Every structure is written in C-alpha cells, then in structure tokens.
Amino acid sequence: MHRRHFLNTTLGATALANAAPAATPAIRFATSGFIWQNAIEEGIRTTARFGFPGIEPFRQHLTKYVSDPLALKRQLDDAGISLVTCSNGGPGMSVNFIDPAATAKTIDDHVAFARDFLRPFGCRHFKINLGRRPPAKPTAAQLETMASTLNAIGKRTLEFGIKLAPHPHIWAPLEREDEVRRVMELTDPRYVFLTTDTAHLTLGGMDPLKIITDYFPRVAAIHFKDTEPKYRGHTGSTPTQEEHRKVNLYKNLGAGGVNFPAIYQLLQRRGFQGWITLDLDPPRPGDGTIEENLEINKRYLLRDLNVKL
C-alpha cells in the first residue's frame, strides 16, 4: 500500500509538471495609468495587487522613461504585468492630425514613438488621441487630412507589428458618429483600426454596441467606463467641458449609462482577442479613493459580467 501510494503520488506530480500551461485569456483587462498620473510605479504595484495583467499609461506621464523604456520594462516584468500600449502626447510630440502644415511632424513623431518605445514592450496596438477639436465642426477637408495622416502612420507602425488605433473622444476632432464613420470610410482597413471607448462614444451621441458591431474587424482595443444613466441612448449634443468640470461625466462600471453585458456578450460571441482597459480618471474629492474605485470596477467585472481575471 505504501508503494502504491508513492507511485500514484509520483505519477500525479509528473502529470502536473508536464501539463500544458494555462491558456492566456483571449480578452484581458488592464488599468489606465492615467489614474496615477506621474506615479506610474505606484500604478504598476497596485495593478498587480488587484490582479489585472496590464496597464495603459500616457506618454506625458512617462517622460523619464521615454528615452529608456527598458528601465520601465524591468519594473513591469518584476510585477508580472504588461504594458498594454501607451497613449500619445506630451512634450515634443505633435498631435495635430488636421492641419496639412503640421502632419509631417505628427507622422514622424508617432512612427518614432512606436518604433523606439512601444516595440520593446511587445505592444500590439498604439492607442492615440487626435488633438483638440476645431472651434466649429471639423470640415470635410480636415477629416480627409486626418485620414491621410492616419493611413501614413498606420502603414509604417504595422511594420513593427503594431496596429494604429485612434480613439474617438469628446471635444476632439473625432467626436460625432458622422465623423467617425467618414474617417473609417477614408482610411485603409489594413492600416487603421479603432480604440472604442464606451463612455466617449455614448457621450458623443453614439451607441457603443452598434459601433463595435459595425467595425468589429477593426476594433483593436476597448476602453470600459460608464456614464450617468441619463446618457444611455443619448443622441443630443455633446456635454460641455464646463459640465465635466462641475460633475465628472465618467463613472464607474455599473452606473447605468452603458449596456456592458450586451457589449461583453458580443465580444465573447465574436471572439474578440485584445485588451479592455478600465479607463478611469483620478478620483475627485468625494468620489472615493483609487483603490475603492478599482474595487468597485473589479467587482462589477467578476459579479455582473462573470469575467475571469
């Protein structure tokens, strides 16, 4: 009996040792480094402690690492998490996509950042914002210039295995549905993809479920954040920055403005393989702490969407 027990135990241990490692989930969830602003080191530690496998910062908060990405990579590797991508912007980088006099620098700056910073981390997409919205609605010529600029950047970043994924954003040139659809029509699907943000699409008068459905093959990444319930189905004008200064338009998951169960079911059904970032802002006074908000959002993922982190 002792010998049989020994053999069974040994065989069981051998089987476990030889078993294939657990498959990486097709959909992975990350935190937004924007929550911590310049304190990316704290963000890395907190992200790992909450069990999220990735973090997505902004370039302007990583200035000390822009010329030394491997110093940041060592910290991420030690924490066991990935740099999902890094948004554009910050000192020395042109983010003008609509002025023909500025787009050559915009192209060069973005290609260089993808090559020199994103590539060492193995990033698969480059989420970018598109600068400030013109005082009036962007003209047809400005949208054409934007599309041409995106095509030029995306063609070159794809050489590094990185999909260019512009982010429609309220108060930016790509805010309303007709603008998004026109730029998607004008850009080459081989080179230009999308980062779809559930709150920004909603506040910009769009249905995020429909946008993700219509452009699913071109959705490289997704940002999850909610809005107030009154904005569900919103088709009116975009809330103003003054309104946002008074009351944060961006809410924790479960606030009621976005139909996350329907979106997540669609992503699972269509086999989405990519990152979803919890794109939160730093909390304002009275909005709880960073950790309290992360706990609220994590609980929603686990309980309401049945996510397996």
pLDDT digits (tens, 9 = 90+) for 36-68: 999 999 999 999 999 999 999 999 999 999 999
Residue 94 CA to residue 229 CA, distance in Å, equals 36
Cα 255–chain centre separation: 20
Q: Which residues pair with 275 in a beta bridge?
A: 28
Residue 170 CA to residue 205 CA, distance in Å, equals 10
Give φ, ψ of 224 to 5 degrees. -100, 120
| pLDDT tens-digit readout, 131-142 | 999 998 999 999
User: What is the pLDDT, as a whole number, of residue 176?
Assistant: 98
- Between strands 82-83 and 125-128, the pairing is unpaired
User: What is the pLDDT, as a whole number, of residue 309?
Assistant: 85
Domain at 35-304, CATH homologous superfamily: Divalent-metal-dependent TIM barrel enzymes (3.20.20.150)
| pLDDT tens-digit readout, 64-117 | 999 999 999 999 999 999 999 999 999 999 999 999 999 999 999 999 999 999
| pLDDT tens-digit readout, 158-216 | 999 999 999 999 999 999 999 999 999 999 999 999 999 999 999 999 999 999 999 99
Question: Where in the chain are the domains?
Answer: 35-304
Q: Summarize the confidence of residues 232-241 as an average pLDDT.
A: 96
Amino acid at 217: P
pLDDT at 121 over 60: yes
User: What is the pLDDT, as a whole number, of residue 24?
Assistant: 57
Predicted confidence band of residue 3 (pLDDT cuts 50, 70, 90)? very low
pLDDT at 19 over 50: no
User: What is the pLDDT, as a whole number, of residue 10?
Assistant: 39
| pLDDT tens-digit readout, 238-289 | 999 999 999 999 999 999 999 999 999 999 999 999 999 999 999 999 999 9
